[in-house]
Structure formats: C-alpha cells, structure tokens
Amino acid sequence: MNRTNKILRYVSRRLLQGIPIILAIIVLNFFLLNLAEGDAVDVLAGEAGSATPEYMEQLRAKFGLDKPLPVQLLVYLKNVVTLDLGYSFRHDMPVSKLIVDRFWPTLLLMVSTIILAVGFGILLGLLAAVSLNTWKDAVITVFALITYATPLFWVGLMMIVVFSLNFGWFPTSGMENIAAFHEGFDRVKDIAHHLVLPTITLSLFYLALYTRMMRASMLEQYGLDYVVTARAKGLTERRITFVHVLRNALLPVVTMAGVQVGALIGGSVIVESVFAWPGLGMLAFESLFARDLNLLLGIFLLSSALVVAVNLIVDVIYSFLDPRIEIG
C-alpha cells in the first residue's frame, strides 16, 4: 500500500475517533441545559411578561419539553446533527446562523494570532537556544516568564491605555470603522488596523509558551548523537543549527500549536470582550449578560468541534512532516 493511501486511511480512522468525542460533548451539553434553572418556556414567558400556567403547559407540549428525558435527548441529538442549535430570543435569530456570522472575525483573529505567536515563538526560542546563557537568552527567558504569568485582559487594557489613549496609534475597539463606509482595499486596511492590538494581546501568552518550548526542544536536540556525528563530519555550527537541529526541534512545537487551540478559544473570549471584537467570544460575553443559555451552549459546542477538527488537521500535518511517525 502506498503512502497517500495510508494517510487517507489514517485520516478516516481519526475522523471516526472524533465522532464519539463530539457525541459525548453534545450529551454533556444537553445535561448542562437541563441543569440550568428554568427551561425555554420560562424564558419565553418571562419575555412575554405574562403567561398563564395553561399556556405554558401548551408551549411545553409544543416544544416537546413534557416528554421524558431520554426522548428529549434524542430529539436534541437529532437537532444538533441537523445543525439546529435552537433559537436565540435575544437576537431574534437561529443560534446556528448567529454563530456562523460571528465565526469569521474570530477565525481571522485566531489565524493571525497563531501566525504571530508561532512565528515569533520559534524565532525567539531559536535565538535563546543558540545564545545559551548569554544576556540574550536571559532577556528572552525573563520576557517569556513574565508574559506567561500576565492575565490577557489586563494586557489588553494596558495596550489600550498606552497605544490607543496615550499615543492614539490604534483604535480602542471594534473591527472596522463602520461610519467611514470603506470599500475594497481601504476596508481591508481598516480591519487590519483594528486587528493589531487584539492580535498582539492574544499572541503574548502563546508566544511565551512557544518560546519556552522551542528553546527546550532545541537544547534537547543539541544533546543527541546525530549532532555529534554532524560535528565530527566537520559541518559548520550554522549548518548544524539550521539544517539539522531546527527541523527536528520544530516537531513538538507543531503538536503544541494543535493542543493549544482550546486555550486559544478561551483567550479569544477575553480579548474579544476587551476590544469589542465582534466574534464568537464577544457573542459569548453578550450572551452571559442576556442570560441566553442556548446561544452560550451553541458557542461551546462549536468551539469543542473546532478543537477536535484542528487536532485532526495537526496530526495529519505531523504525519507529513515526520515520516517516522507510524500511521498504518
């Protein structure tokens, strides 16, 4: 069997492994929904201002809320599988549509964050490892330690104080200047301008993480036998570092990028609510205040599915990067 075939089989097997996890999360979602005080009918009745008990019973029967729990669970499962995540009464929109609308800003923020954090993390980690035990290494290590310990929302607020309020370089909030009616390239520029501070804020924590990992990974590789062999062959240190060590040291960093996506989503809730970035995180923040549980659960479900998907993608990338990985 050739390699592409093998990889295809591997991908489909991993997809199958992801299904039970998603199912379990849906079931968990259902129980959380039931754990909360009051059901959708209570919410509706509250919205309407007045409702007789008979009318509420009628509504419950209409939504199937009078049925036994297992039946409700099955209905819920069917709904989720058909991408029906319920209705957000606050926004007067189906949850799934609302979530899809708000997904793109979050994706933009996350992708730019990953690029920045992984890129600079690798660079700084490399620099620290190459100049081990010098002042450069010390500065980078201290920087990583401090950013690793800083709460994201605080960094965001301090960024606003310094760069928006004091210097006036960047806007304080939002994704674009809607009142300006920018079109085409101007609009892209406007969005990029708004993107700078949220991206830097969200990157900092992961930057610290990747820097530390890259440094440790480089140092580990330097101690291995093949480096000794390379030195014995008379290769220059430069070549050893960039051609031999760097490639091998990158592997754990790639895996980590996948593992950290869940944390990245959590971080984006905070960063988006600091910068009023109109993505999923901001939506989650709003739904907290509106007590819109359906919406919150929908966001939760989507972000879990996203983590499963990204982990799958990272595993596949990994198997391409490192042919030694057994995938059969």
Nearer to another protein, 96 or 303 (CB): 303
Positions 19 through 58 that interact with another protein (CB under 8 A):
20-21, 24-25, 28, 32, 35-37
Nearer to another protein, 59 or 296 (CB): 296
How many Cβ atoms are within 10 Å of 267's Cβ, its own excluded? 23
Q: Which two tokens stand for residue 322?
A: 């490192």
From candidates 15, 69, 165, 228, binder to another protein by CB under 8 A: 165
269: contact with another protein by CB under 8 A: yes
From candidates 40, 73, 191, 219, binder to another protein by CB under 8 A: 219
Q: Least separation, in Å, of the C-beta of 281 and another protein?
A: 9
Amino acid at 121: G
Q: Least separation, in Å, of the C-beta of 64 and another protein?
A: 21
217: contact with another protein by CB under 8 A: no
The one segment of 41-49, 89-97, 110-118, 270-278 that binds another protein by CB under 8 A: 270-278
The one segment of 56-64, 232-240, 299-307, 314-322 that binds another protein by CB under 8 A: 299-307
How many Cβ atoms are within 10 Å of 1's Cβ, its own excluded? 7
148: contact with another protein by CB under 8 A: yes
From candidates 26, 128, 283, 284, binder to another protein by CB under 8 A: 284
Q: Least separation, in Å, of the C-beta of 2 and another protein?
A: 31
16: contact with another protein by CB under 8 A: no
Closest CA to 89 of 38, 35, 44: 44
HEC-encoded secondary structure of the chain:
CCHHHHHHHHHHHHHHHHHHHHHHHHHHHHHHHHHCCCCHHHHHHHHHCCCCHHHHHHHHHHHCCCCCHHHHHHHHHHHHHCCCCCEECCCCEEHHHHHHHHHHHHHHHHHHHHHHHHHHHHHHHHHHHHCCCCHHHHHHHHHHHHHHHCCHHHHHHHHHHHHHHHCCCCCCCCCCCHHHCCCCHHHHHHHHHHHHHHHHHHHHHHHHHHHHHHHHHHHHHHCCHHHHHHHHCCCCHHHHHHHHHHHHHHHHHHHHHHHCHHHHHHHHHHHHHHHCCCCHHHHHHHHHHHCCHHHHHHHHHHHHHHHHHHHHHHHHHHHHHCCCCCCC
174: contact with another protein by CB under 8 A: no
Q: Least separation, in Å, of the C-beta of 320 and another protein?
A: 23
Number of chain positions touching another protein (CB under 8 A): 48
Q: Least separation, in Å, of the C-beta of 265 and another protein?
A: 4
From candidates 108, 128, 240, 274, binder to another protein by CB under 8 A: 274
Amino acid at 49: G
Nearer to another protein, 98 or 297 (CB): 297
Amino acid at 265: I
Nearer to another protein, 51 or 77 (CB): 77
The residue ranges that bind another protein (CB under 8 A) are: 20-21, 24-25, 28, 32, 35-37, 145-146, 148-154, 157-158, 160-161, 165, 219, 261-263, 265-267, 269-270, 273-274, 284-285, 288-289, 293, 296-297, 299-300, 303-304, 307-308, 311
